[in-house]
Structure 1
Amino acid sequence: MQVRTAIHLNRAPAMAAGAQIVLRKGEQLFDEGDEAEFFYQVVSGAIRSYKLMSDGRRQIDAFHLRGDIFGLEAGGEHRFSAEAVGDVSVVAYRRSRLEALIQDDPAFRDKVMTATLRNLARAQAHMLLLGRKTAEEKIATFLLDMAERISKDDEHFDLPMQRCDIADHLGLTIETVSRILSRFARSGLIRLLPASRSIGLCNRMALQGLNA
């Protein structure tokens, strides 16, 4: 999959410090074990990073949304795979140029530092969520986090991912995710539009109570 990334880079127009890559839904950006030659920033759309278990199950580690920086590794290989949730545009930066980039551009240095700390905080929160929270608490936490990351008013937003993605991120079945979302809607906590990924938060306080 690293070869495909290189092909995109060769065809993409050069940008100020990186190269733009356009991916279609389901297209892979890199695979687990690929050389971590580049790191990335999302321009539009969403990327999911994940691992496939030996029995074929998928665990989604994180969703990377507009502005997020990801793919910086401590070692020389990517520890997760990454693919487009829908149509996506990212900018790829050569890892070998990281030191020069942060020296030449203090604003970019601050972005990388903020992104690194934020990714660490989200990874810690995700570990707690998987290990200690009930299904209802997991979904309440997820909805509040997505509202904060996606929506300007935090009350209404369109999820970029499908329910199967949510299930694989939260360690639940798709049936459990659908059942709890419907229960939240019946209880007046959220508003769901039929055949839509649109979510309205109707009772934020109650959701925050589940998130505590």
Structure 2
Amino acid sequence: MAMFVVSGRLGMPSNNRSETLTKIDHSEDHRGTPEAPGRVVTLIERSYWEQLTDSHDSAPERVWGVAYRIIPEKVAEVKEYLDIREINGYTIHYAPFHPADGSPPIRTLVYIGTPDNEQFVGPQEPQELAEHIFRSQGPSGLNKDYLLSLDTALSELAPDSGDHHIHDLARRVRELEKNCEDETKLLNPTTSVHQQKHSTEEAEEIEEPHH
């Protein structure tokens, strides 16, 4: 029997996917380190979310995501892989997934975080959070790449998702990137001029006639 899994990135065999409340967790084994944990999104129950104070307090009533259909002979392998990957602060739930094309709901397996686990961070001031994401990295890569990829996926797969929190964080991180690039240019203002002068002198030496 096939299994459907709702996941941000599967990394395992599947033969189909369907496009369709996130909160912030910290990650010390993918997008951060134990000394400087990165930030990743996690699903939590709405009843938990309603108890939190958030800078973006207008969460929609539904979660947008991707459901992967796992071929029967790979179900056990994928389940073992996901249990290991999501072991840090998640519990297994089964929930209905409503495909964007209006077809009947699919029973899917999802991993949901609980606020009482040590990985749960909860709400943070948006600019401080953006700066933390901008600085963090881990074995799976830069934390900012994770955020910007998530923002792009939401814009492309679910333009009606209305996830202002993710879009706002991505905007702030892009501004930090631009400011960092501008500062680098200011610290090295003579590089291109020096290189151009050096090249001109070399050209004059080559063109100078020899007697």
TM-score between the two structures when normalised by the length of structure 2 = 0.32
Which gives a bigger RCO, structure 1 or 2 (Cα 8 Å, sep 6+)? 2
